[in-house]
Amino acid sequence: MSLARLSVLDQSPVPEGSRGPDALRNTLDLARRADALGYHRYWLAEHHGGGMLAGPAPEVLIGVVAAATQRIRVGSGGVMLPHYSPFKVAEVFSLLAGLYPERIDLGIGRAAGTDPLTTFALQRDRRQASPDDFPEQLPELLAYLNGTMPADHPFHRLQDALPGGPEKPEPWLLGSSAQSAVWAAQLGLPYAFADFINREGAPIARDYAQRFEPSETQRHPRTAVAVWALAADSEEEAQRLASSSRMTLSELRRGRLIPVPRPEKALQYLSEQGTAVASRNAVIGTPEQVRAGLEATADAYGAEEVIVVTITYDHAARVRSYELIAEAFGLPSDRPLTVGSSAVA
């Protein structure tokens, strides 16, 4: 399968010495640039309770990013559904779809996006831990959006009360495990796999495509793979810039959430830690090396789309990486806006 699209996953990283508002302004700046560069979609992540990432509410950022851009699809990467009422999520994303027709994605995840204590703090009812009812939540959410709630269901009338109708978001199931692939296939949903979390995802994505059951909204399987990548003018510079993210990941796996450090600090840390440093699957190097790595990853997953996630200390370096990747793939930068056309295949 040929790689047809490049997209962006933005986790709104907070550089050391900066604050959340600085990271959010960087998100808006990068979104505008990605729109002009020809990226297909721009997804905002959901993380809670830490000082490293400034994006706990993708549903808020989506509206701001969509208003600041013209063509690019904007969505959640993803909404962590166990924290929310399915009806509330349906209302919010219906509203966004009504404001920005044919541009809103609803990426849905099962993970908490945080530690157990913060997960408990997010609960409305704290008398006991919330049940693991994601398999019931997801079909309910889709039924609201698709208008397929059974006539005898007590919430049946609510499917007609969504504020953005007839516009609706495009739902995606996000995952990093075999179970998510099974649900995506059974429900006939597009599937986005987080390779930067689980580097063993290629067989899972292939299994999704083989199991896929056509739905009213999706006749064929669609796979995207989210890949951590960083391009620079030289491989040495790319590795230097990537050291900041490697340090944050190592500290995260030790239970410490730190702002993104300067490369000089990160390189010293990595040198001292040696082989004990945590690593992730990543594509790092010159634009040509990154293109080859992304194409190879897409081929392994049978994916038509790669969603690139990049974290650097310096915002300009992150923007430059996306520029170099766009140039390497020959994306149609500053493409003309076609009024009324859909960006969805």
For 8-64, how does the pLDDT look when each residue is reduced to its tens digit (9 = 90+)? 999 999 999 999 999 999 999 999 999 999 999 999 999 999 889 999 999 999 999
The CA distance from 204 to 177, in Å, is: 7
Question: Chain-wide mean pLDDT for the chain?
Answer: 93
CA 54, distance to chain mean position in Å, is 14
Residues 209 and 220: their CA atoms lie apart, in Å, by: 8
Residues of the chain with pLDDT under 50: 336-345
| CA 107 – CA 10 distance, rounded (Å) | 13
Q: Is 327 exposed, middle or buried (0-12, 13-18, 19+ CB in 10 A)?
A: middle
Q: Are 138 and 108 in contact (CB under 8 A)?
A: yes
**Looking at residue 315, what is its pLDDT?**
98
Joined together, the tokens standing for residue 244 give 């900041």
Which pLDDT does position 279 carry in this prediction? 73
Q: How far apart are CA 329 and CA 345, in angstroms?
A: 20
Query: What is each CA distance from 274 to 115, 220, 279, in whole angstroms?
Result: 27, 46, 12
Q: What is the pLDDT of residue 51?
A: 83
pLDDT of residue 129: 84
Tell the residue number behind the tokens 């149609």, with chain if given: 332
Give pLDDT, residue 276. 67
pLDDT for 93: 98
Q: Where are the domains of the chain?
A: 5-232+280-329
Q: What is the DSSP string of 297-319?
A: HHHHHT-SEEEEE---SSHHHHH
CATH superfamily of 5-232+280-329: Luciferase-like domain (3.20.20.30)
